[in-house]
Amino acid sequence: MTTYHLRVNGREHAVDTDPDTPLLYVLRNELQLDGAKFGCGLGQCGACTVTLDGAAVMSCMVPVATVGSRPVGTVEGLGSAKVPGVLQQAFIDEQAAQCGYCIAGMIMRATSLLAHNAAPSDAEIRKHMMPNLCRCGTHMRILRAVRRAADTLKAGGAHAASGKTGGKA
C-alpha cells in the first residue's frame, strides 16, 4: 500500500492503495464518487470517463500511481441535483438519458470538449464523443445536449464546462 494525494473536483484526498489500482476504483470505493461507472473494464465503452488535467480519460485504464498532481474531474464536480451544471442541465433538457448508465461518462467527455473548444461543429462533437458508447441508442439526444450546452455557454451561461466544481467532492 502506498499513500496517494489526489485532487478531485478541487478537493485534496489522501488514499492508501496499491499503485496498480484503477482510478475508477479509487473514485468509487475510496472517495464514494460513484458517477463514473464500471462498464467493460477494458477502456472500450467510456462509462468510466472522467477528466484528468482537463482531458477525457477512461478511469478503468488509469492506474492511480500515474495520476500524480494532475486534477481529476468527475460528474459530481459539475453541479448538484438542485443546481446542475450547464452540461447536466442540457442532458436533462434534451432527455438524453434512457437507462443513464453511460451519461456521467458522456457528460465528462463533453466537458473535456467544451473546455478546449467552446464552439465545436456538429462533426467535432460527433468525433469527440465517438469513444463513448450508449447502448440505449440516445446518441442523437446526446449530440443535441452537447450542442445545447455549447450554445448556452456561448450565450454567457455558467461555465460548467471548465471543470469548475460546485458539487460534492
Class of 2-161 in CATH: alpha beta
**5, three cell numbers:** 494525494
pLDDT-derived band at 158, boundaries 50, 70, 90: low
Residues 6+ apart with CB under 8 A from 22: 59, 60, 61, 62, 63, 64
Q: What is the pTM of this model?
A: 0.90
pLDDT digits (tens, 9 = 90+) for 69-107: 999 999 999 999 999 999 999 999 999 998 989 999 999
Best CA proximity match to 71, nearest among 85, 50, 100, 93: 50
- The whole-angstrom separation of Cα 157 and Cα 23 is 31
